[in-house]
Every structure is written in structure tokens, then in C-alpha cells.
Amino acid sequence: MGITSREIVVDKAFKFKKRIDELRSKEYYSDEPKTLINLFDKVVVKISQSIEHIKKDDVILIKRINLLLSFYHLCLDEIEHIEANNVPVEMLPIFAEILKKFNVKTTLVFRPNPLYNYSYYPISRHMNEINKSQGYPELKTEDEIAVISFPSSEKTNSLMHCTFSHEVGHHLNEFLGIADEIEPKVLKLIDKNLMKKYAKKYLESLKKTSARIGNTEVTLDKFILEEHVIDRKTGEIGKILRNWLDEIISDTIALYLFGPAFLFSIAEFAISRQDFKKYTENHPPIFIRLKNLLNCLEEMELAESLDEYKHVLKRLKVYKKISKETFETTKMTMSNIENMILQRTIIASFDPAKEMIKKSLDLPSKVFNFSDVKHTIIALRNLIPGNEVLTEKSTSRPIDAISILNAAWIVRINFINELYSQLPKMAKKEVRNILNELTLKSLDLQAFHSKMVKKN
């Protein structure tokens, strides 16, 4: 027996149904995980129908259903890691409001991740892509569902969870097709002179290897045209740039939605890893991401509002210093040339990306009311949840959630020593946890207050 065994496939389908039933019996923080489970429940019916048509000698169909079930078992892993008591539910209304504002009807499911990282997984989109490319009608779904994961060890770290906005930025980028529209323009920005230098270096490296044709020994560079090297490398770099573009766009959207709070969260998260020039095919180095975010922050004219917070300004200087890192060098190795091409091209994409984001999202020039931020700062410094202000008519008005998060970050950076002195018998870690708990309480009260205001 193997993957061509009908009995194996039937057993895997039975276990799939059993896993869904077990997940359905759990308690969750909201209806979103149940939506995800219902999606898979519909799939059970479709797969069962497919299995009914399998004949013992139909090897191709048996393999097909087996691969389909394997994919779904992987997807179910996303649900099994969802734990009600480990999700910061106080922050979730923020993202529900953002999606509603942009008329995005996707269900976002948040789950803790045993890995120390944030991630975005558009389950239903991947299903439809596989159906389109491989012809699996069982995978077709009209539901729009995406999973956002976060470090499980940071459950109550509301300040770091501002990074959620980057993952939501990914979804808005995909939903609105922002990167798709910019990508052709970005590829035109690739430095052609540097690309020619790369091709020349590559062909020079081939001169060290030769092949014998008859009685003649010929170096390998004679078999490859410079144009071929340029075309191939442009394609490779283009794939990396597309991934980097997605990250830059998601960062920019997150900053426009959350203001400095996102910059602080992503910078502090990245700085803990220290290697500012390290990059992958999917993610640009942190120095390039910070360069883009600081440019956006300057354009948003928020720096003046932060002038009175000297420790915040010091922290921004640290970010600025990191952003001045560069791949530029006089050493023209192939690796250095490739890095310079990537750097120059992605930096040249900042402005067209910002223009397209503004056009697509129709964002306001100001992301929050800074007077509300200051009010919340005072409240949090006094260990009071800052979620409302009194109006001239002596009635209370809720402060928006983004202002609360920005205030909490300013307190965390600028006034944390003040909190340490107020709570001398507590370890510094405990004081930071108190600030996180106060922030979550402020968000919880703000959401409740906002609902009450709407009802009245």
C-alpha cells in the first residue's frame, strides 16, 4: 500500500473529519475561527463526493485526492494553534474597523505562533490559486479568509502587536492590487550600467573554466552572450524586488494607519536581531525598511509633535543611523553589484509606491489627533487607562485606539524610568508588563465606550 491505495486516502479523509469535529468542540475568542472551521467543513463534503467516485484501479484520482487531503491537513494546523486565552482580543476591533473602512470583507483569524515572528497566510487565496493552476475544484471558495500569527510568548505585549498593522497592510496590498500596478515601473528602475558590470564579472569568472572541443580548449565564457546573462539576472532580481516591494508597501500602509507606533514596534522588533544588512529573497534588510519609514514619517509632519519627548527623539536618531547603512561599495564583486542593484532599485520605488498607496487608500493627512495622544500619555504616566477625554459640555468622548497605542509607545520610550521610580519594588519587566496591561485595558474600555456612543 502507498499513496495509490484507496484505503489510505479514505483513512486520511476520516482523520480529517475527526480533526474538524475536535476543533469545532473548542471555545474560541470570537466567531472568526469558527468561520475558518466552517470553510473546511464544506470541504469535507466535496472531498467525500470525490472519494465516492474513486475506483480501486484509478491511481491518478487516488493520488490527486491524497495530495488534496495533505494540503488541507496542513491548513488545519493553522486552526489547531488558535488558543482563546492567548489572543490579545482587545486589539482585534482596531483591525475589524480598518477592513470595514476600506470595504474589505475578509475574515482575519489571529493565532499565537510558537515561532518568534509575525506572519500573514491568506488561506482562501492559496486555495483558489491551487485550484486555478492544478484544477482542484474542491479548493475553490468564495470565502475570503486570512490567518495572522504573532509570537505566542508576547500575548500581552500590545505595543509590539502594532506590527499586526504590517500584516493587515499585506492584505490591503493584495486586495487593492497596489504592488501589481507598481511592479512594471519598478523593473524599469534597475540600473542598466550596474547590470552590464555584473554580466562582465560573470563572464570573467567563466574564463577560469574551459571545455575541450575536438583538439581545441575553449573557455566557457565563449558559450554565453552578455545579453543572456543580463536577461537571466534581471529576471532573478525582479523576483526578489517584487517580494521586497510587497514588504515596503505593507510597511508604508501600516505607518499611514498607525503612525509612529508602527515604526517603533517594527524597529524595536528588528533591532533585537542586530544584523541590519541581512536580507532574504522575501524581506529587504532592516536599514532599507527604516529608510522608507523615516521618509514617510517626515512627509507626514509628525516629527514636530514628538519634539518635546527627548528620549523619543534619541530613539529616532538611532533608527536614522541604522537607515544610513548601505550596500554601496567600490569593490565590484558580483555579490556587491547585485546588492547595489537591489538597494538602488527598491529605494527608487519609495515615491511611486507612496503615490499609489495614497491613491488607493485615500488616506487622510493626519492619522490621529495629537492632543488626544498627549491626554493619554498623562493618564498612562499616572497608571490610569487613558481612553476618554472630557468635552466642554462635561461629557466624555472616546479617544481613538491608534492614539492610545501611540501614547503607550511614547510612555514606554520617554517615561519608562519615571514608572520605574514610581514602582521601586517591582522588577523592570513587571513595570513594562503593567504598561502593556494598562494599554490593553485602555483599548478594551475605548471599544466599549465607542459602542455606547454609537448606540446613543
Q: Which residues, 6 or more positions from 413, have their beta carbon under 8 angstroms from its beta carbon?
A: 264, 309, 311, 312, 315
Give the least confident one: 83-87, 205-209, 260-264.
205-209
Look at residue 206 in the predicted model and tell me its pLDDT: 65
Q: Rounded distance, CA 116 to CA 160, Å?
A: 12
Compute, in degrees rounded to 10, the torsion defined by CA atoms 70, 71, 77, 79: -130
Look at residue 443 in the predicted model and tell me its pLDDT: 92
CA 60 to chain centroid: 38
Burial class from Cβ neighbours inside 10 Å (0-12, 13-18, 19+) for residue 93 reads middle
pLDDT higher than threshold 80 for residue 131: no
Q: Is the dihedral of CA 114, 120, 124, 127 positive or negative?
A: negative
Look at residue 313 in the predicted model and tell me its pLDDT: 94
CA 55 to chain centroid: 44
Which residue shows C-alpha cell 500590545? 158
Q: What is the CA radius of gyration of the chain?
A: 26
CA 208 to chain centroid: 44
Q: Rounded distance, CA 451 to CA 444, Å?
A: 11
- β-pairing, 388-390 vs 107-113, is unpaired
Look at residue 211 in the predicted model and tell me its pLDDT: 59
- β-pairing, 216-219 vs 210-213, is antiparallel
Look at residue 4 in the predicted model and tell me its pLDDT: 53
Look at residue 1 in the predicted model and tell me its pLDDT: 43
- β-pairing, 107-113 vs 145-151, is parallel
CA–CA distance from 276 to each of 31, 97, 284 (Å)?
40, 34, 10
CA–CA distance from 111 to each of 19, 155, 443 (Å)?
18, 10, 19
Query: Coil, strand, or helix at residue 292?
Result: helix
What pTM value is reported for the model? 0.86
Q: Cα(first)–Cα(last) distance of the chain, in Å?
A: 67
Q: Count of residues for the chain?
A: 456
| Percent of the chain at pLDDT exceeding 70 | 86
Which residue shows C-alpha cell 494553534? 81
Arithmetic mean of pLDDT, 28-45: 77
* DSSP assignments along 67-82, one per residue: HHHHHHHHHHHHHHT-
Model confidence pLDDT, tens digit, residues 301-312: 777 788 889 999
- Cβ(162)–Cβ(251) under 8 Å? no
